[in-house]
Chains A and B, each alone.
Chain A
Amino acid sequence: MNRSDKKYGVAALFNSPDDIIKAAKKVTEEGYTKYDVHTPYPVHGMDKAMRLKPSKLGFITLTFGLAGAAVALLFMFWAMSIYYPMIIGGKPFFALPAFIPVTFEVTVLLATLSTVIGMITFFFKYPDQKHPLHDTDYMKKVSVDKFGICIEVDDPLFNEEKVKELFKGLPFESIQTIFHPAEEKHTVLEPKFLGFLAAVAIVVSFGTYVALNKILYTVPFDWMMEQPRVDAQSKSEFFTDGFGMRTSVEGTIARGFIPYEFKGMNEPTVPLSNPLKPTKEVFELGKKKYLSFCSPCHGNYGDGDSRLGENFPKPPSLHSAKAREWQDGNLYHIIVNGQNVMPSYETQLTRDERWAIVHHIRALQKAKNASEQEIQLVKKESLENAK
């Protein structure tokens, strides 16, 4: 490194730790303040010889450690008890014992990182590659096995002759004057370097774009969209009949499904009567299920006006005299058993739902075929209710 003729300070090297302690004591006693001792490792007793106050680094650690603990606890409290409270494993929303591990880890993380970053930037003012002491013989020797002390020109008591005199009174090894390095031209903004930066930026952004938007969506990265799993209605090569969806095993009864004793009979004289009372809930259930399962063919009001149009044989109206004269049990039998092209709804509807549908059909039949007297009655009642 080229040196200017501007002085930085005067430095002396010593051979043993005892000598450097003596020198540091002497320099401190003389009243110098802008000086530093350089040793290849921390020499014990030097703090005392230089009269240094204890390091205040611990305050940074304490502050950030406590902040880490508080932030972690408050955050977990907010996330788990306020923002999105969920009961997990029967624990309370604010499960303090379960929050301790994370609190501890965050405390340690913040305390250590703040200590190190605080020390390097705030206490050391590093990185500092331009310091006048770098690249001097003095620094190269204290790096190995010599012990040095350097008094700076900026010290109010500094006088080169006096300082050298002082060092000569000690068991020194060598004395040297340190000069500031010569001013260096900054080469950072040269067009070559800027061009290089631009090239790097282009390559990196293009590479990132390709990696994230192209490569990650080519084979074999399918993001688990393709899965060898059987979806509803899909084919399966595993089963001999080729169907993915399975019917229940013969002889088993699913929960809530009671076997129907007249299964498969044609026109049975069914002695069943509707076990459900015609309550509001039953009518609502019946309407819902009718609209889901029956209306596609029989129409929303049972007129037989199929939504399937001409693509399917037209189903009979539910308002025919035949349908109206049927017993409840007969309608129930058709729902369970199916009739002509109508399939069985045994597996789709529970017993109660089927009976609720029967109720609904009866209500539709009544509504379509009401007598004048009944209409008047309903009108009167709804007028009264409206008041």
Chain B
Amino acid sequence: MNIDYSRELPVIQGRLSLAEIENLIASPLDEKPGKKFFIALSISLSLLFIGVLSVGYLFYKGTGVWGLNQPVGWAFDITNFVFWVGIGHAGTLISAILFLLRQKWRTAIARFAEAMTIFAVMCAGIFPVIHTGRPWLAGYLLPYPNQHHLWVNFTSPLVWDVFAVSTYFTVSLVFWYIGLIPDFAVLRDRTVSKIKKIIYSIFSLGWRNSHRNWQHYEKSYMLLAGFATPLVLSVHTIVSFDFAVSIIPGWHTTIFPPYFVAGAIFSGFAMVVTVMIFVRKIFDLEKIITLNHLEKMNKVILATGMMVGYAYAMEFFIAWYSGNPFEQFVFINRALGPYAWAYWIMVSCNVISPQIFWFKKLRRSIPIMLIVVILVNVGMWFERFVITVTSLHRDFLPSSWGYFVPTIFDIGTLLGSFGLFFTLVILFTKTLPVVSISEVKAVAEGAQPSHHGGEH
């Protein structure tokens, strides 16, 4: 338990050799999936099936099957959208920002976090499309030459959203794939199955570990990280613009972009820790994804949790300081009105529960951190719910006040999105190396030359 933080901790524990690292990561792909795998998959597929049924009925019947109606026109749909986009942000943060900050420990978790980014953005992308009520007209969101001679309104935050989320998805996917190319080559060279070999060969593009390629490869990784960093900040900024650019009290605030980005990283890290706790256990990766990794992520959760707490407080302060009675009403209504229960779930989960991580012992305890990160996930979902619904349900006209209650189709769609996410995650663990083999090899002890012209 006594760790000397003044010295850099080894990224990988137990002095594994390069071949051992590779075996540890790649061997689950060679084995047939076990009973646990199918149990997990059947649970997630059941959830996904509930989602498919809910969305199918929604398409058949229309958005009337949801609980939203005037004045709450945005409810679970947009809450889920923002929630899932936020989950995605941790992956890009780990793969891009921590790369630029030269945080070697990121290598163990980057691949998985990036995969979670892609899956989370896929979940997120469903909601704006289905909430339009006419999903088959979603193509109109894209600027394309048409007979009406009309282009999309480029000054609308909703169009910015289309550009931001689709760019984010594409760049994340490309970034992820670039990282996978050398690993596909490794898998190609170790597999004995003929079909697998063809598949891995195709995806490895014929990679041959050449240093003349590694040189450009490292450069491209740096460039992509450099672009992904502002991109990840821009995406949640633009998502927050969906709210902040409107003139609804409770939405129309300048604090939204940084507040949303901090919240996204907060919730994303919580989700990564949630999944990592299970992955390292199930795949025996405790030496590669060590307790030190989890502790570092918990520190990020603590820091971003306090940023989010600061934003909650600052919103209230500005509501009072602005002297705007509508703004003041919205915030008093949030904390004391009919949705006070949601507000206080949010505060206690997001601000109070991560404070446990001030204590090293608790920060490094798996059961404690599992409870906290699940609470954070719940709290961050409620944060988006509070922002969306409580700002809308009591607007300027008291005669049109209302109270949103979700229907089973709202809840079914939410469960379905979790089903989709975990189905993809579970399939990913059996099809691709969950940790970047070449990156982890590069940070293993003795992997780099001892003297190389004083470059370090």
Question: Could you tell me which A residues sit within 8 Å of B by CB distance?
Answer: 16-18, 21, 24, 36-50, 52, 55, 57-58, 61, 75-76, 79-80, 83-84, 88-89, 91, 95, 98-99, 101-102, 104-106, 108-109, 111-113, 115-116, 119-120, 123-124, 126-131, 133-134, 139-140, 142-145, 220, 224
Contact of A41 among B157, B220, B439 (CB under 8 A): B439
- Given A41-B447, A101-B163, A124:B216 Cβ within 8 A: yes
Given contacts A17-B448, A40-B441, A42-B215, 15 further A-B contacts (CB under 8 A): A41-B182, A41-B214, A41-B442, A42-B442, A46-B214, A55-B216, A105-B160, A106-B167, A108-B230, A112-B224, A120-B205, A124-B216, A128-B205, A131-B206, A224-B134
B164 touches A101 (CB 8 A): yes
Q: How far in angstroms is the closest Cβ of chain A from B59? A: 8
**Number of residues from B at the complex interface, CB < 8 A:** 72
Instruction: Find out whether the CB atom of A145 lies under 8 angstroms from the CB atom of B208.
Output: no
- By beta carbon, the residue of chain A nearest B23 is A144
**Does B284 count as interface, using CB distance less than 8 angstroms?**
no
**Contact indicator A84/B447 (Cβ below 8 Å):** no
Tell me whether B213 and A21 are in contact (CB under 8 A).
no
The residue from B151, B175, B206, B234 contacting A127, defined by CB atoms under 8 A apart: B206
Which residues 209-245 in B have Cβ within 8 Å of A in the complex? 209-220, 223-224, 227-228, 230-231, 234, 238, 241
Check if B339 is an interface residue, CB within 8 A of chain A: no
Q: Which residues of B contact A16 (CB under 8 A)?
A: 446, 449
With A57-B216, A106-B163, A124-B205 already in contact, the answer to whether A144 and B19 are too (CB < 8 A) is yes
Whether B171 lies near A44 (C-beta < 8 A) is no
Say which residue of A52, A105, A126 sits within 8 Å of B215 (CB atoms).
A52
What is the distance, in angstroms, from A218's C-beta to the closest C-beta of chain B? 13
User: CB-CB < 8 A to A48: which residues of B?
Assistant: 452-453, 455
B residues less than 8 Å from A44 (CB atoms)? 448-449, 452, 455-456
List A contacts of B441 (CB < 8 A): 40-41, 145
CA distance A220 to B170 in the complex (A): 34
Among candidates B178, B188, B220, B453, residue contacting A45 with C-beta atoms closer than 8 Å = B453
B442 nearest CB neighbor, chain A only: A41
Interchain CB contact under 8 A, B214 and A39: yes
A110 nearest in chain B by CB position: B167
Q: Which residues on A sit within 8 Å (CB–CB) of B164? A: 101, 105
In Å, the complex CA distance between A76 and B152 comes to 10
B406 within 8 Å of A by Cβ?
no
Q: Indicate whether B190 reaches chain A with its CB closer than 8 angstroms.
A: yes
Q: Please determine whether B220 and A108 come into contact, CB atoms closer than 8 angstroms.
A: no
Q: Which residues of B contact A88 (CB under 8 A)?
A: 153, 155-156
Shortest distance between the CB of B193 and any CB in chain A (Å):
15
Contacts of A57 in B (CB 8 A): 216, 219-220, 223
A–B pairs, 21, beta carbons within 8 Å? A18-B451, A21-B449, A36-B212, A37-B212, A40-B186, A41-B214, A48-B453, A49-B452, A89-B155, A91-B155, A101-B241, A102-B154, A102-B163, A105-B231, A111-B227, A116-B178, A127-B205, A131-B206, A134-B206, A143-B189, A145-B19
Query: Are the CB atoms of A126 and B207 closer together than 8 Å?
Result: yes
Of the residues B150, B231, B448, contact of A108 by C-beta under 8 Å: B231
Complex contact A84–B149 (CB within 8 A): yes
CB distance from A133 to the nearest CB of B (A): 5
User: Residues of A contacting B230 with CB < 8 Å?
Assistant: 104, 108
Task: Decide: B208 and A129 in contact? CB cutoff 8 A.
Answer: no
Residues of B within 8 A of A91 (CB): 155
A220 vs B136: C-alpha distance in the bound complex, in angstroms?
14
With most chain B CB atoms within 10 A of its CB, the pick from A43, A99, A112 is: A112
CA of A79 to CA of B186, assembled, Å: 48
Q: Is B18 an interface residue (CB 8 A)?
A: yes
Q: Which residue of A lies closest to B213 (CB)?
A: A124
Minimal beta-carbon separation of B146 from chain A (angstroms): 11
Residues of A within 8 A of B143 (CB): 75, 79
Give chain A residues whose Cβ lies under 8 Å from the Cβ of B213: 123-124
Inter-chain contacts of A105 with B (CB < 8 A): 160, 163-164, 167, 231, 234
Contact of B208 among A95, A101, A106, A133 (CB under 8 A): A133
By a CB distance below 8 angstroms, the chain B residues around A95 are 155
A145 touches B450 (CB 8 A): no
Q: Shortest Cβ distance from B218 into chain A, in angstroms?
A: 5
Over the window 172-189 of chain B, the binary record of Cβ atoms lying under 8 Å from chain A Cβ atoms (1 yes, 0 no) is 001100100010011011
CA distance A113 to B178 in the complex (A): 11
On whether the beta carbons of A36 and B211 are closer than 8 Å, the reply is yes
Residues in chain B near residue A104, CB distance under 8 A: 230, 234
Instruction: Flag if B151 contacts A83 (CB, 8 Å).
Output: yes
Cβ–Cβ contact A101 & B234, under 8 A:
yes
List residues of chain B with CB within 8 A of the CB of A133: 208
Cβ of B24 under 8 Å from chain A: no
Q: Is the CB of A116 within 8 A of B211?
A: no
Contact partner of B186 (CB less than 8 A), chosen from A115, A119, A143, is A143
Kindly supply a per-residue 1/0 record for chain B positions 27-67, scoring 1 wherever the CB is within 8 Å of any chain A CB and 0 otherwise: 00000000000000000000000000000000010000000
Closest to B441 in A: A41
Asked whether B22 is an interface residue with its Cβ less than 8 Å from the other chain, the reply is yes
Query: Cβ of A46: which chain B residues have Cβ within 8 Å of it?
Result: 211, 214-215
Q: In chain A, what residue has the closest Cβ to B17?
A: A145
Q: Give complex CA distance A339, B226 in Å.
A: 83
3 closest residue pairs by CB, A with B: A45-B452, A145-B18, A41-B442
Given contacts A80-B151, A108-B231, contact A115 B223 (CB under 8 A): yes
Cβ contact within 8 Å between B209 and A139 = yes
Minimum C-beta distance from A211 to chain B (A) = 12
Query: Known interface pairs A61-B223, A128-B206. Does A39 touch B453 (Cβ–Cβ under 8 Å)?
Result: no
The smallest beta-carbon distance between A335 and chain B, in angstroms, is: 40
Q: In this assembly, does B117 line the interface, its C-beta being within 8 Å of a C-beta of chain A? A: no
Given A101-B160, A108-B231, A139-B189, also A38-B210 (CB < 8 A): yes
- In the bound complex, how far is the Cα of B171 from the Cα of A76, in angstroms? 22
Q: B182 CB to closest chain A CB, in angstroms?
A: 8
Which residues on the A side are within 8 Å of B155 (C-beta)?
80, 88-89, 91, 95, 98-99
Find the residue from A40, A55, A115, A127 having the highest chain B CB count within 10 A: A40
A108 touches B171 (CB 8 A): yes
Would B212 and A52 count as touching, CB distance under 8 A?
yes
Contact B217 A119 (CB under 8 A): yes
**Contacts A45-B449, A102-B159, A124-B205 given: A109-B171 contact, CB under 8 Å?**
yes
Q: Which residues of A contact B350 (CB under 8 A)?
A: none
